[in-house]
Amino acid sequence: MNISELNVYPVKSLQGIALEQTQLHEHGLAWDRRWMLVDARQRFVTQRQIPALATVGVALSGDALVLSHPDVEPLAVPLAEPEGNLRLVSVWDDHCKALPESDEVSRWLEAALGTSASGLSLVRFATDFQRSVEEDFLAGGAAHTYFADGYPFLLTTTGSLAALNDALVAGGHDPVPMSRFRPNVVIDSDTPWAEDRWATLADATGTFQFALRKPCQRCKITTIDQQTAVIQEPAEPLKTLLALNTQPALKGAHFGQNATLLKGDGAVIRVGAALEARERDA
């Protein structure tokens, strides 16, 4: 069993970046969900409200976050922290301190996406602020994250995607790529839903170790093509996931596991790394 993909999403709900290696931190992969779009009320905005956000490309250069879109010239946002007063922004029920990026980003977004992006601004997580992960699934521990929905890491497996796609095709639907689920770490594993039984996942050398905390409940973002923003089948793959009922004790459709880092803050994680899982006690 090994890592087949590593993905980082510097701006929440924009396109991700596939990596061969990156650094692990307790708050997530390096640069993951460091930025977020907010509306005039300083509340987070995602593809749930504006599917077209999926068409905005993201890259990281040595000194800039680079946004791109087919209809406008790319925009470079300096990696150096912006000057300005801290804002209090919200993501779900959490209130976080953030630094606003320049108004140029807002103008660029509206030029790229039209009126649907009117009033949006880009904010950067203030790293001297700590956003805690919900305690209910941490077994007495503690963890924190940036602007991710709730946990610093999302892990998925190729075996589960294959099982889901088999069910989709059997029901007369098109298969979906892994990008629909926006994972950080994709594990090459032949056994469907094996991740739901894992307590921990570590690399074979013992350099890092994840704790798998909670099944990830999925939303309408899984119905959106993550390059074009097209919604081909509004109910899928959620309807098929619900029918598979991989989490009988929980409501909703689930795919993948939310995770925290037990060991390896600052370590390098690489595609191809061999992994070993420890299953939960029965």
What pLDDT, on the 0 to 100 scale, is given for residue 151? 97
Residues in the chain: 282
149: confidence class by pLDDT, cuts 50, 70, 90: very high
pLDDT in tens, 91-132: 999 999 999 999 999 999 999 999 999 999 999 999 999 999
Q: Tokens at residue 261, please?
A: 């880092």
248: confidence class by pLDDT, cuts 50, 70, 90: very high
What pLDDT, on the 0 to 100 scale, is given for residue 84? 80
What pLDDT, on the 0 to 100 scale, is given for residue 189? 94
Tell me: pLDDT of 238 over 90: yes
What pLDDT, on the 0 to 100 scale, is given for residue 97? 97
Report the distance separating Cα 36 and Cα 89, nearest Å: 10
* Residue 144 phi, psi (nearest 5): -145, 165
DSSP-H helix ranges across the chain:
103-113, 158-170, 238-244
Q: Are strands 121-125 and 131-132 parallel, antiparallel or unpaired?
A: unpaired
83: confidence class by pLDDT, cuts 50, 70, 90: confident
Q: What residues pair up with 131 in beta bridges, in sequence order?
A: 145
Q: At a CB cut-off of 8 Å and minimum separation 6, what does 189 contact?
A: 1, 157, 158, 159, 195
